[in-house]
Structure 1
């Protein structure tokens, strides 16, 4: 920039000196001839005056000599006046020239200030394309200082693809006077920054003719990179907006409150079956489509939003479609305020919720139906419980009678009964007990889900100790409980039934009860669920029977060998599922069995473990 200022200052000083020299030369050219003529005429007049004076002394005084003397004196006076006028005019011209020079200098300074403070880049080149001036805006835009580029070819500011064509283009223009850029107004081009990245520019070039016939070219460049990026961002935003509105299948509306005009998107109209020209873009057209029963609430929502009670709203109303049917619409919108807080615009979307409203109505009807069915089911369950109680009482009573009668018969005939008869009587009573066990198992299974499921804090360590105290395990049969049993928020009674049933089975079906070992352990699955494991070292279960053991009335051993109803694991599975968990079996024949089941924990806190020491 300093170099630009120095060059301009030197140019202005040189012009000023040249102007002063020219003015002085002009004054000399104008004044010297008059001074020469004046000098010669004065000399001639002096000669004539002296001659007349001599004649006056030698001859008598006559009128003609007096007249001639007067004319000569008049000529001298005229000559002096003319000389003074010429001098005055020359001085006036000189001062006019000085004022012109001052105005010219001021104009040049203004132009220089404009160039140096212009927001646009201004670059001057000569006929060879060499940069002669480079204003501060150009330095800022291109990243070069004036000293770096002045004296270089202007192609250094161009992209590689354009730089090698510039000199040939300028040469053709100098020869033909025809160009595609010079003198044709602004044109969009690309320029190169000092770091190599490309800039989008508007370029206008004008030509100047110097006094010596040389030509200069002034280029004005405006960086439009941000505008181009803004245009690209706007196009991308519009494309994204169009894609979103098409993808969501929502209609868009935009209400200009200052003019009353409303823009309804094509989707807004087609979702009601209307063509583009069927609906006018104003509020009256919208108002005419709203169901009369819904219009009041809609107006209240819009007015509340306009008056600043809220900046957004969501309402539902019915709109009449082209088939003269009403569709339920959810209208959502926002209000835009001006600087003074007055509403100037509202915009939002329309979503057709007719199917959702219908589905909601169907769900409400289903809820009513389900409530009626639940009441009927509750009555049915009550009747079932009553039936189960009556059935169990009516079935158990004859069984007890048979058992008692068999016992009385055996006592009455004790002296005459053979061993075979006694064995048959014992078998009869065992079948009665089995039948009673089956009845109890069926009742227990039917009541799962209707037993006490109240959620409470359950210390599983203490619960297992209580269960072990109630089990009749053989001497040498060992049951180990892990020391980190958690405290759960769950149903106590069902969980107790699961543990008791699994531990009873481990004792009942073990092939070496005198040296058996069973372990109960736990691990957290996640923050809300625990997995318990009951593992034994008994005979194991072959994989093909893993599903069968959970089916009702299914046993793997003959009932004459091990008395069983085949209901226990079925009840366990149902209880675990009622608690929200699941149960699995990991076993192989000859390698023991491990039953794993999960129990959700409803505690909000972290894991809490029992401090009960297993006995």
Structure 2
């Protein structure tokens, strides 16, 4: 029994060492708190944020390190709220660096955990998203610490006289059960009364199975002592005497306290649960290596990133593992091997990180880092972080800023040039008026570009959170839009083809009217003076998964577009007209797309060059 307990201790220590290494070498913040908000454990990333050590975190709350009392109060209320529930939550929050005073933003994954003795705790995994807090959320990390208490094993003997219902024991049994020697012999009901209420039915069922001859009796259950304490026992026995009819007469067995072993098993299960939770919830991939620097584990996230399964790399050394990873890389971003990472970690302030490009489910850009470990079973951990989205966002941001600057530079150059002429030269009244008209026109264009850029930025940043959704009458929305639209004086008003049946949608009326107005304005700008613009309403039958939909269709008989132009309609600043004679910013249809999609709708386009364009805005119909 002692040997078995020692084996469990060794397994537990090894698991704890691996967990400690993974947590401390993880670039994300990992912590675990109790109900009072005190740290049960915190990794090096958290300690660095608070300007302390992982050991000094334990037993203290955020207030010991964070001068921002408002944040501290929020953290405590938030974790208590989550611990009172059962679902894992993802939240965006901020924290103040004790040393620099800088505020950092984190996307935190918070998982409530209830220990075996009913205590509420919380596991937090926090990912620093300061640079990308407006773009995406990431996950937040945390960790919990486990305590193991192992006591010596105790054992007792019992003998049940089944016909009389009397059970006799040795002294050890009474000691284990917390009873005095007056209970060396007692009715079976006394034993039943010691059973934990949650275990009683299962123990009785196992006893009945043994009495019926189905199987020997074996049960691990809890015993409740008179002082209120509860502990686990391993209870074993069998029927040793039956009468001629097979009726059981006598049953004997042993009674061993396994409280320490049970706690150890629960701790191991919790360790496994924590490791699984960390690896399953973490977006980052990990590959751990044993003391011989051979692959001993790969996380689920690593497989998702690369498609490499543990079975493919299990037991491989650094060279063989590198070969497999290099085969997956693109020439523009090859993995340069472990020695390069070690060298870079010494010489580079970035901590030895490199970037590789792999092909798995499309092109991915991965940040790779190597961390050494002093644990006996883990020599090093190779971690991978998918930064594809961040790279794409940076590239999109650069392209957008470049395009926006180009679009603003054109009217700005005109304004600057004509203003300079007005300031430096004597002009007649007619020329001055002409130049001022050009300045006025170009200023209006700049204002339109800036206003539409702000509209687009607000819509994208808030993702419809500021939309006021209410039931709206579609025909009335269209009529209001047309009434507020000022078409050129020489153009006829749009022709309305609206059904008699009242149709309704759930929408932010102002935003939807803005989308209608943008499309209607384009229909007039890109069509001839004598052509007709038509607005129609069409509906689709009910379909599973989508219900009924309504299409607001705008038809013009204008210049139309080629297939190549049609593909670029929603690009920002793209304009089908390259002559510069038709006013506009090239942002209108981008705004329409954002508004319609935030209403769970879609846009259908059809166009023929020289014939005209039809734009249909599809929205869910209610009622």
What's the TM-score bracket when you normalise by the shorter of the two chains?
A: 0.3 to 0.5
Is the strand fraction higher in 1 or 2?
A: 2
TM-score normalized with structure 2 length: 0.34
* TM-score calculated relative to the size of structure 1: 0.35
